[in-house]
C-alpha cells in the first residue's frame, strides 16, 4: 500500500484554499457586475426618455415653424398680388 505523503496533503490543502479564494473573488466580481449592469440599464433608460422628449419637442417646434412659414408664404403672395394690381391701376 502506498504511503500518504504529508507534503502532497499540504499541497492539496493549499490548492483548495486558493481555489476557495478564487471562487469568493469570482462571486464578488459577479455581484459587482450585476450592480453595474443595473446602473447602466437605468442610465440607458433615462437617456432614451430624454432623447424621445427632445425628438418630440423638435417635431412640435418644426411643425409650428412649418405652419408659420406656410402662413408667411401665403401672405407674401397676397402682398405681391396686391402690388401688381396697384401697378395695373396706375398705368
86: in domain: no
91: in domain: no
Cβ contacts of residue 56 below 8 Å, gap of 6+? none
Distance CA 10, CA 16 (A): 10
pLDDT of residue 1: 40
pLDDT of residue 84: 56
Taking the whole predicted model, whether its pTM rises above 0.85 is answered as no
Residue with cell 396697384: 86
Give the total number of structural domains in the chain: 1
82: in domain: no
User: Mean per-residue pLDDT for 4-23?
Assistant: 89
4 vs 45, higher pLDDT: 45
Is pLDDT at 72 greater than 60 in this prediction? Answer: no
Alpha-carbon separation of residue 78 from 12, 48, 65, 73, 88 (angstroms): 97, 45, 20, 9, 15
3: in domain: no
21: in domain: yes
Domain span at residue 55 reads 8-59
Cβ contacts of residue 1 below 8 Å, gap of 6+? none
77: in domain: no
Task: Band the pLDDT of 14: cuts 50, 70, 90.
Answer: very high
Query: Could you tell me where the DSSP H helices lie in the chain?
Result: 6-90
Which cell numbers hold the place of 42?
437605468
87: in domain: no
pLDDT of residue 91: 43
Tens digits of per-residue pLDDT, 18-58?
A: 999 999 999 999 999 999 999 999 999 999 999 999 999 98
Provide the 8-state DSSP code for 2: P
Amino acid at each position: 500500500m502506498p504511503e500518504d505523503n504529508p507534503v502532497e496533503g499540504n499541497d492539496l490543502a493549499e490548492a483548495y484554499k486558493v481555489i476557495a479564494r478564487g471562487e469568493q473573488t469570482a462571486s464578488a466580481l459577479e455581484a459587482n457586475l450585476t450592480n453595474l449592469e443595473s446602473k447602466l440599464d437605468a442610465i440607458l433608460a433615462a437617456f432614451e426618455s430624454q432623447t424621445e422628449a427632445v425628438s418630440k419637442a423638435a417635431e412640435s417646434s418644426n411643425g409650428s415653424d412649418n405652419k408659420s412659414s406656410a402662413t408667411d408664404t401665403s401672405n407674401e403672395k397676397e402682398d405681391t398680388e396686391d402690388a401688381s394690381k396697384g401697378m395695373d391701376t396706375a398705368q
